[in-house]
C-alpha cells in the first residue's frame, strides 16, 4: 500500500496580511500531480487543514475545491484529521457523506477507535485533542489522574492497540508535538511556543507498535522523532523561520512484510519567501538587488542591520522588492554597546537635555522647536512638583 | 411522485434568549415519522435551514444529525436550498459529497439552472438571491436594468423554462416573499419587515408554468399566494405573532397527469407558545393560572394590561409560569387618554413639579428626597442659564 503523507495546509493563513491562498493552491497542484503519478492508494492529511476554527469563506471554497479534485474527480481516498488550528465541531459537518466516498475526516477523539480497514492495513485517525477531552471521554473526574497529554495518550494508545488485527499492519495519523530519539532537543517547533519535551509534548515511545505514524503539527519534516514516526511538514513556508527549509510531502510504501519505503518529494514555491539582511544603503543598491529574485516573484523578509534616517524606507524597499512581509531591525551588538555608553553619559545630564538628544537621534538631527521645548519643561516641572509633594 | 414540503427550520434560533433546539428536535421527529409513514419520494426544505450565516456549534451538530437521519439512515432524498438567513458559501461546503447520496443542497443562483431529474419530474432548486447576485451572474452592469428582485426573477425564470422537458412536470423550490391572488394584502409576513407587494416581493405570476412551487420565507402556510404556490410555514413557532397559528408541513403528490394532491399535516409543539393578557393581579390569581398550561410545559408571552407597583413582577410571574419569553405592557387606550390629560395639566406647571409628579408616578407614590430635589433644581438652573445665554 502506498500513501501520500502531507499535513499543515493551514488554508486561509495570511503571512503578516499577505494572502497565501495562491501559494497554497500552487502547492496543492503539485501534491495532486504527485499522487496521480505515484498512483497512491490514498492521501493522508495529518491535521491543521484550515488556519482557524471559523475560516473565511475564501478558505472554505478553496479547501472544498481541493478535496473535490482529489476525492471526487480523481477518486483518491483521503484520510484526514483535525489539528489544533481546526474547529473540530464545524469541520465535522457532512463527514458521513464524505466517508461514503472514502473521504475520512475524523475530528473527535471517539472516532479514533474505529480503524479504517483497507487491504492489509488498519488506519487509525486520531485527531488533535486536549487532556480535558480525554478526561471527558474516559469519565475521569480527577484532573491529576490524567493531567498531561502523555497521560492521556498512554490510555488512548492502549485502547487503539486493543483493535490491532495481527494479520494487518497499523498506520496512525495524528497531530501533536512528538519527541523521540531523533529530535530530543528539537527546538524548531511549529508556530506554537510550546517547548519540546515539556508538558505539551508526547513521547514517541507510545507509538512503537505502529508500523508508520503520519504526523502533523511541526512544520518541518526535519523535526521527525523517529524513522517510522514522521512529520511531512507543511507544503508552504508559513513564516520566516521556515524560509530556508525545503518543503514537501512523503510517499510512504508499506510492504506486506511491514517494511517501510519512504521518499520525500519537494514542493516548489511559486513565490518563495526570501530573507534579506543588510543596511538600507546596501539593499537599495543596484549591485545588490539585481542579484535577488525580481519584484513580484517572491515574498521578502528584510532585516536592516543599521539605522537609516531616510523617511521612506518601507516605500523605497517596496518599490524595489514588491511584497515585503516583514521589515525588522537587527542592529549589531557593537552599535548597541555604543548606545549603551551614550546612555550612561546622558544620565548625568538634565532631563531636558536627554529629551533633546533623543529627539535629535530619532529625527536624524532635528532640534526641538520653541513650543516643543516649552512642553518638555512644563512636564519636567510638573513631575518635580509631584515628587516634592510625596 | 410524493414529496414532503417543509421550510424555515431556523436551527439555532433563540426566542428572546430561550433555546428552541429541543422544540426543533421535537418537530423534526414528527417530520421524520410522517415522511416514513407517507413513504415520500423526497423531502423538500425550502430555505432558512439555519438561523444565521455562522451558526453556533450546537446548531451545526443538530442540523447535521437531522440530515443524517433523513438521508443516510432512512435513505430519503433531500431537496434543499439556502434562504436569506443562511450563509450560502459556508453551507455549500461538502455539498458534492451529499449530492452523491441524493442530498441536494443548492446555495448559489448558478446551481438553479441544472434541474434534478427524477421519475417524470424536473426539480429546480433556486436558492434565495439578491438582485445584485443576478446582476453579477448575468453580467448586467447597469443597476437600472435589473434593479428589483422582480426584474431579476423574470430573467431567471425565463432561463429555467428553457430547461423544461415537455414530457415531465416541473417543481420549483425557492425562498422569497411571493405575492399572488390569494395573498395580495397578506400582512403576516416572516420575521423580516419587508412589506408585501413592495420592492422586495416577487410576483407569483412568474411561476405560472410550474406545476408546484414549494416556498420558504413566510412562516405561516396561510400566506400562500396561490393553490399551486405554497408556503409550508415553519414547523415551530418562532415569535408571539405566530403563537395562535398552527404549524405543519405539506405532503404534495403529483399525478402523471399533473394533478396536485395537497395535504397539510400539523406539527405539535412540545412546549407551546402561549400569549396571556391581563392585569398583574389577574395573572397571579389562582383562579386564572390554574386554567393555563403548567409551569415548564409552555413558553409564555405575557402582556400586562395595567401598571402595577409591585417591584417583583417578573419574578412572581416566573414563579408561576416558568419560561416567560416576553413581558410587555399593553395599556388600554382609555388610560393613555387619562395620561394625556394629566400631561396637558402638567405642562402648565413648573419643571420641578413635573419631575416630582413623574417620580411619584413611576415609584407608586414616593417623594423626591431633599438631595434629589437639589439636583433637579441645579439642572433647571443650569438649563435656564444656557437658554438665556443663547
pLDDT digits (tens, 9 = 90+) for A276-315: 999 888 899 898 988 989 888 999 999 998 877 777 888 9
| Mutation site, A97, A98, A100, interface B, largest B CB count within 10 A | A97
pLDDT at B5: 98
pLDDT at A60: 94
Task: Among B251, B267, B283, give the residue marking a domain's end.
Answer: B267
Mean pLDDT computed over B275-289? 90
| Contact state of A64 with B94 under an 8 Å Cβ cutoff | yes
- Which band of pLDDT confidence, cut at 50, 70 and 90, is reported for residue A1? very high
Lowest-confidence segment of B79-88, B183-192, B292-301 by average pLDDT: B183-192
pLDDT at B188: 42
| Contact state of A90 with B60 under an 8 Å Cβ cutoff | yes
Residue B61: name the closest of A90, A260, A166 by CA: A90
Higher pLDDT, A113 or A223: A113
**Is the confidence at residue A192, as pLDDT, over 90?**
no
Same domain, B279 and B225: no
Residue A158's H or E segment, with its range, is helix A149-162
| Contact state of A103 with B97 under an 8 Å Cβ cutoff | yes
Coarse DSSP helix, strand, coil percentages of chain B, rounded to the nearest 5 percent:
40, 25, 40
CA angle centred on A294, ends A292 and A296, rounded to 5°: 130
| Contact state of A97 with B92 under an 8 Å Cβ cutoff | no
pLDDT tens-digit readout, B30-80: 999 999 999 999 999 999 999 999 999 999 999 999 999 999 999 999 999
Higher pLDDT, A182 or A197: A182
| Contact state of A54 with B57 under an 8 Å Cβ cutoff | no
| Contact state of B100 with A101 under an 8 Å Cβ cutoff | yes
Same domain, A218 and A276: no
Asked whether the beta carbons of B182 and B225 are under 8 A apart, the reply is yes
Same domain, B225 and B278: no
Instruction: Measure B60 CA to nearest chain A CA, in Å.
Output: 7
Instruction: Measure A377 CA to nearest chain B CA, in Å.
Output: 38
Q: Name the domain count of chain B.
A: 3
In the block, cell 395595567 appears at: B306
Give me the interface pTM, i.e. the ipTM: 0.74
pLDDT at A188: 43
CA angle centred on A288, ends A284 and A293, rounded to 5°: 100
For residue A68, give the nearest of B54, B72, B96 by CB distance: B96
DSSP assignments along B232-262, one per residue: ---SS--SGGGTTS-EEEEEEEE-TTS-EEE
Instruction: Measure A66 CA to nearest chain B CA, in Å.
Output: 11
> Which residues in chain B are closer than 8 Å to A91, comparing Cβ atoms?
none
pLDDT at B40: 97
Range A156-161, long-range pairs (CB < 8 A, 24+ positions): A156/A109, A156/A112, A156/A126, A157/A206, A157/A207, A157/A209, A159/A113, A160/A112, A160/A113, A160/A115, A160/A124, A160/A126, A161/A209
Q: What values do phi and psi take at B214, rounded to 5?
A: -95, 110
Residue of chain B with shortest Cα separation from A88: B57
pLDDT at A174: 97
- Half-sphere exposure of residue A134, counting CA atoms within 13 Å on the CB side? 25
First to last CA, chain A: 79
pLDDT tens-digit readout, B299-334: 999 999 887 777 788 899 999 999 999 898 887 665
Instruction: Measure B19 CA to nearest chain A CA, in Å.
Output: 19
How many C-beta neighbours within 10 Å does residue B203 have?
15
Lowest-confidence segment of A361-375, B181-195, B244-258, B288-302 by average pLDDT: B181-195
Residue of chain B with shortest Cα separation from A87: B57
Instruction: Measure A55 CA to nearest chain B CA, in Å.
Output: 9
B85-to-A50, B53, B300 alpha-carbon distances in Å: 25, 6, 26
Residue of chain A with shortest Cα separation from B73: A96
pLDDT tens-digit readout, A154-167: 999 999 999 999 99
In the block, cell 403529483 appears at: B254
pLDDT at A173: 98
Measured CA to CA, the distance from residue A130 to residue A148 in angstroms comes to 9
Mean pLDDT computed over A98-109? 95
**Is the confidence at residue B166, as pLDDT, over 60?**
yes
pLDDT at A185: 54
Cα Rg, chain A, nearest whole Å: 27
In chain A, % of residues over pLDDT 70: 91
Mean pLDDT computed over B138-165? 94
Task: Among B241, B267, B293, give the residue marking a domain's end.
Answer: B267
Range B285-291, long-range pairs (CB < 8 A, 24+ positions): B289/B320, B289/B321
* CATH number of the CATH domain containing A203: 3.60.21.10
Task: Among A286, A309, A329, give the residue marking a domain's end.
Answer: A329
Instruction: Measure A312 CA to nearest chain B CA, in Å.
Output: 40
**Is the confidence at residue B200, as pLDDT, over 50?**
yes
| Mutation site, A49, A76, A96, interface B, largest B CB count within 10 A | A96
Q: In this complex, how many residue pairs, one in chain A and one in chain B, have their CB atoms less than 8 Å apart?
A: 59
pLDDT at B125: 98
Average pLDDT of every residue of chain B: 88
- Which band of pLDDT confidence, cut at 50, 70 and 90, is reported for residue B177? very high
For residue B93, give the nearest of A60, A96, A103 by CB distance: A60
A77-to-A36, A39, A214 alpha-carbon distances in Å: 12, 12, 16
| Mutation site, A54, A94, A111, interface B, largest B CB count within 10 A | A94
> Which residues in chain B are closer than 8 Å to A61, comparing Cβ atoms?
89, 92
Same domain, B291 and B203: no
In the block, cell 543596511 appears at: A279
Same domain, A325 and A337: no
Residue of chain B with shortest Cα separation from A59: B90
pLDDT at B256: 86
pLDDT tens-digit readout, A241-252: 888 889 999 999
Residue of chain B with shortest Cα separation from A71: B97
For residue B98, give the nearest of A57, A87, A94 by CB distance: A94
Residue of chain A with shortest Cα separation from B55: A90
Residue B134: name the closest of B176, B164, B181 by CA: B176
Question: Which grid coordinates are listed for B241?
Answer: 405573532
DSSP assignments along A195-247, one per residue: PTTSTTEEEGGGGTT-SEEEEESSS-GGG-SBTTEEE---SS--SGGGTTS-E
In chain A, % of residues over pLDDT 90: 61
Lowest-confidence segment of A66-70, B290-294, B339-343 by average pLDDT: B339-343
Same domain, B188 and B295: no
- Which band of pLDDT confidence, cut at 50, 70 and 90, is reported for residue B191? very low
| Contact state of A72 with B98 under an 8 Å Cβ cutoff | no
Instruction: Measure B234 CA to nearest chain A CA, in Å.
Output: 23
Asked whether the beta carbons of B201 and B107 are under 8 A apart, the reply is no
Angle, helices A333-346 vs A351-362, to 10°: value is 150
- Which band of pLDDT confidence, cut at 50, 70 and 90, is reported for residue A187? very low
Same domain, A203 and A236: yes
| Contact state of B94 with A96 under an 8 Å Cβ cutoff | no
Average pLDDT of every residue of chain A: 88
* Residue B70 CB-density burial (10 A; 0-12 exposed, 13-18 middle, 19+ buried): buried
Residues in B whose CB is inside 8 Å of some CB of A read 54, 57, 60-61, 64, 67-68, 71-72, 87, 89-90, 92-98, 100-101, 103
Measured CA to CA, the distance from residue A309 to residue B68 in angstroms comes to 65
Same domain, B252 and B281: no
| Contact state of A101 with B98 under an 8 Å Cβ cutoff | no
pLDDT at B69: 96
For residue A54, give the nearest of B54, B68, B97 by CB distance: B54
Domain that holds residue A346: 333-389
B260-267 and B212-216 beta bridge pairing: unpaired
Asked whether the beta carbons of A109 and A103 are under 8 A apart, the reply is no
Same domain, A141 and A201: yes
Instruction: Measure B104 CA to nearest chain A CA, in Å.
Output: 12
In the block, cell 492497540 appears at: A161
| Contact state of A57 with B90 under an 8 Å Cβ cutoff | yes
Question: Which grid coordinates are listed for A243?
Answer: 524560509
pLDDT at B197: 46
> Which residues in chain A are closer than 8 Å to B71, comparing Cβ atoms?
97
Measured CA to CA, the distance from residue A290 to residue A313 in angstroms comes to 18
| Contact state of A92 with B64 under an 8 Å Cβ cutoff | yes
| Contact state of A64 with B101 under an 8 Å Cβ cutoff | no
pLDDT at B269: 94
Same domain, A72 and A48: yes
Same domain, B164 and B312: no
Higher pLDDT, A353 or B190: A353
Residue of chain B with shortest Cα separation from A93: B64
Q: What is the dihedral of CA A53, A58, A63, A68, to 10 degrees?
A: 140
Same domain, A120 and A38: yes
| Mutation site, B56, B78, B94, B102, interface A, largest A CB count within 10 A | B94
Residue A71: name the closest of A28, A20, A119 by CA: A28
| Contact state of B103 with A97 under an 8 Å Cβ cutoff | yes
Amino acid at each position: 500500500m502506498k500513501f501520500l503523507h502531507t499535513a499543515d495546509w493551514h488554508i486561509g493563513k495570511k503571512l503578516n496580511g499577505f494572502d497565501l491562498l495562491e501559494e497554497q493552491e500552487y502547492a496543492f497542484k503539485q501534491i495532486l500531480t504527485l499522487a496521480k503519478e505515484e498512483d497512491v492508494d490514498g492521501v493522508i492529511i495529518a491535521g491543521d487543514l484550515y488556519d482557524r476554527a471559523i475560516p473565511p469563506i475564501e478558505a472554505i471554497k478553496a479547501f472544498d475545491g481541493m478535496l473535490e479534485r482529489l476525492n471526487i474527480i480523481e477518486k483518491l481516498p483521503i484520510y484526514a484529521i483535525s489539528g489544533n488550528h481546526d474547529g473540530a465541531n464545524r469541520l465535522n459537518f457532512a463527514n458521513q457523506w464524505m466517508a461514503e466516498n472514502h473521504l475520512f475526516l475524523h475530528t473527535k477523539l471517539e472516532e479514533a477507535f474505529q480503524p479504517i480497514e483497507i487491504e492489509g492495513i488498519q488506519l487509525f485517525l486520531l485527531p488533535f485533542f486536549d487532556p480535558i477531552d480525554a478526561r471527558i471521554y474516559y469519565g475521569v473526574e480527577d484532573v491529576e489522574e490524567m493531567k498531561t497529554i502523555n497521560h492521556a495518550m498512554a490510555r488512548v494508545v492502549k485502547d487503539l492497540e486493543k483493535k490491532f488485527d495481527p494479520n494487518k499492519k497499523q498506520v496512525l495519523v495524528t497531530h501533536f508535538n512528538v519527541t523521540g530519539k531523533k529530535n530530543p532537543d528539537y527546538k524548531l517547533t511549529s508556530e506554537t511556543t510550546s517547548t519540546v519535551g515539556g508538558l505539551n509534548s508526547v513521547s514517541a515511545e507510545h507509538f512503537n507498535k505502529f508500523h508508520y505514524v503520519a504526523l502533523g503539527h511541526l512544520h518541518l519534516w526535519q523535526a521527525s522523532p523517529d524513522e517510522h514516526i514522521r512529520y511531512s511538514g507543511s507544503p508552504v513556508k508559513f513564516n520566516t523561520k521556515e524560509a530556508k527549509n525545503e518543503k514537501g510531502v512523503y510517499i510512504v510504501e508499506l510492504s506486506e512484510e511491514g517494511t517501510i519505503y519512504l521518499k520525500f518529494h519537494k514542493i516548489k514555491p511559486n513565490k518563495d519567501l526570501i530573507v534579506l539582511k543588510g543596511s538600507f544603503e546596501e539593499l537599495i543598491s543596484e549591485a545588490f538587488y539585481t542579484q535577488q529574485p525580481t519584484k513580484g516573484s517572491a515574498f521578502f523578509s528584510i532585516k536592516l542591520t543599521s539605522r537609516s534616517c531616510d523617511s521612506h524606507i518601507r516605500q523605497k524597499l517596496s518599490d524595489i522588492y514588491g511584497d515585503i512581509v516583514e521589515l525588522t531591525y537587527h542592529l549589531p551588538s557593537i552599535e548597541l554597546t555604543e548606545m549603551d555608553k551614550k546612555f550612561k553619559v546622558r544620565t548625568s545630564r538634565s532631563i531636558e537635555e536627554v529629551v533633546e538628544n533623543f529627539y535629535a537621534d530619532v529625527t536624524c538631527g532635528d532640534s526641538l522647536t520653541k513650543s516643543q521645548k516649552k512642553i518638555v519643561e512644563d512636564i519636567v516641572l510638573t513631575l518635580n512638583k509631584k515628587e516634592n509633594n510625596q
